[in-house]
Structure formats: structure tokens, C-alpha cells
Structure 1
Amino acid sequence: MTTTENIILNQVQIDQKIKRIAYQIYETNASEKEVVVAGIIGNGFVLAEKIITVLEEISTLKVTICKITINKKKPLEAITTSLSVDDYKHKSLVVVDDVLNSGTTLIYAVKHFLEVPLKRFKTAVLVNRNHKKYPVKADFKGISLSTSIKEHVQVEFSEKGALAYLVE
């Protein structure tokens, strides 16, 4: 159960961050006809869907969604996507996750797509924790947060709304 003391972002703030990320993606891809938004299974995919909803409202881009399935506990296992390689080859692609913690999940997702020639490749996260152990960065981020190693950021998307909060 969360208390108001550890809430980082409430529903209104998350909606604002999503809208801003969508505008940044559109600005970066304004000269493109199509962009692929690939969400990492779980909250990354939910966030990707929300970003796409805004992108479709504000732009004429053809937006294709892709689900990235990765075992977050064992990222060396095979990574799969809901699209075939030909569906995103030579296109602009944005990989989306909810929180950039150590960078493990994001770096392995990035590695998967680096094996395919892309026109442009960017990353987006709602919360960037600044505790990376891998040299990966979020090109588009809702908020950057310096936390202790013991603290974790949790994002919840539900029918009632969305919250991002800090847990120890």
C-alpha cells in the first residue's frame, strides 16, 4: 500500500509526462512517415500503448506497436517481439520501459534491435533512476530521480489510474 509521502508521480503528472514524451518522439520523427514503438512486456508495454494513443492524437505518423518479451530475471534468454524483423527493418524505432533501474532490461532489449538495420533508434522511460550499471540512457524520460541503492521505483497502471512511487 502506498502512502502520499512516497508518491513520485500521480495520475495527472504521469499523463503530462506521457504527453511530453509523445511530443518529443513526434518532434524527433517529424520527417518520418512511420515509427515503431516497442514496449517491454509488462508496464513498458502499457506505457507504450499510452504514448501511442497521444501520438495518434497529435501527429499524422503511422504508429506501429511492438511487444518485446524478455525475461527480466534472466535477460540472456531469447528475446522475442510481436513483429517480424521485416516489420521494423529500416524504420524509426523507440523502445519503451516504465523504469530505467540498472539498465539491464533496456540494454538487452537494445542489443536485440541492434542486429537489424534501423533508420533511427531511441529509448523512452517514465522514470530514470540514475543507478545504471550499463552504459544505456533514456533519450526521452518523464522524470530523472536520484535514489539510494536500497530504494526502488514502482509504477502501477490500473483501471483506477496510474501512480509511480518509491519503496524500500
Structure 2
Amino acid sequence: MEEKVIMNEKAVARALTRLAHEIIERNEGVDKVVIVGIKTRGIYLANRLADRIASIESRQVPVGELDITAYRDDLPTKTGDPKIVGTKIALPIKGKTVIVVDDVLYTGRTIRAAMDALMDLGRPDRIQLAVLVDRGHRELPIRPDYVGKNVPTSKEERIFVRLSEVDDSDQVVIINKNE
């Protein structure tokens, strides 16, 4: 399978800087903002966004981690209440603007699961969505508020986000599954 790099390290960095500026502008600062990354790569992107916002605004934005495994609708039938395991959000989200961060937006099902998990933690004033890549093919009516790059794809293609925290480098690649 041949892979094509569609965002290199500089493009990823530029996209995150632009997203940070857009978040600050749309929310008129970051006084009521909490950033929550979806495990795994969304957490690293959330931390990078928070660092960029801190360098622009000279103040830290709280960052949390969200594990949505128990909320997914593509897992076998579950019994009992979902357990929020691996979720780390240090402060209450009630009355806050929660910005959910993920690497790739595809069908929207991951984001729906993330919203369900957040609502179990409290009722934020608003939930916004920031993604590094929006590849289309939505199955649910979910639209990102902040997008690093729109990449129209076919269903035979896959997008992989590689981040230096867990992978060999920072880049986004597209692979055709049929090749």
C-alpha cells in the first residue's frame, strides 16, 4: 500500500496555530474554555492547542482526557451503566465551553460518543469540535467548528495522523486500501 503525505510537520504546526487563533477569536478569549482531547491522538493535539493558546493569551487553558470506549455504538451490547475509565478532567465542565479535540473526523460516531461521555460528567454551556482532518462521509449530523484541513476522500482511502508523541514524526498520510 502506497501512502501519500498530505500534511508534513510544518503543515501540522501551522494548522494547530491557526486553530488556536480561531478558538480564541470565536470564544472572545479563553476565560470559560476547557479543552478535552479524545484518546489517543486527540489528547496530544489538545495539549499542543493549549500550549499555543497559552503563548498567545499568556494564560493556561485546562486540558482533559476523554476515553469514549464505553460509549461507542459499534461495540457489543453492554450491560449496566458505562464506566468512564481513562477519563481525566480535573475541573467541572458545567458552565464552560468544552472544545473536544480529535485527529480525524469521519462518520461522526466518535464525536457522538464523546458528547455522551461529557454529558455524564456535567452540562457545559457549549461543546465545540476541533479536528486536525475532516475527511467527510458523515453518518451523523455532526460538523466541526474548527478544521485543520479538509481532505475529501473515498471510502477506500484511510487517513492516518502520526504525532511525534506516539509515532515517528508529525504528519498526515492517506492510503488507498485497494492498492
Per-residue CA deviations over 1:29-79 (Å, capped at 9, x if unaligned) read 225523110000111111111111101100144410100012266397544
What is the TM-score of this pair, normalised by structure 2? Answer: 0.82
More strand by share: 1
Worse-matched range after superposition: 36-45 or 54-63: 54-63
Partner AA of 1:50 in structure 2: R
What is the aligned partner in structure 2 of residue 156 from structure 1? 162
Give the corresponding residue for 1:118.
124
TM, length-normalised to structure 1: 0.87
Q: Does 1:93 align with 2:104?
A: no
Q: Is the 8 A contact 1:9 1:163 kept in 2?
A: yes
> SS in structure 2 opposite 1:161?
coil
For 1:63, give the aligned amino acid: V
Match of 1:97, SS state, is strand
Q: Which blocks of at least 5 consecutive residues in structure 1 are unaligned?
A: none
The structure with the larger Rg is: 2
SS at match of 1:46: helix
2:89 to 74, 83, 88: 83
Percent sequence identity over aligned pairs = 29
> Matched residue pairs, number?
165
Q: Is the 8 A contact 1:155 1:165 kept in 2?
A: yes
CA distance in 2, matches of 1:142, 1:2: 23
CA RMSD of aligned residues (A): 2.2
CA contact (8 A) 1:33 1:61 kept: no
- d(CA) in 2 for partners of 1:93 and 1:56? 16
Counterpart secondary structure, 1:158: coil
Q: CA deviation at 1:24?
A: 0.7
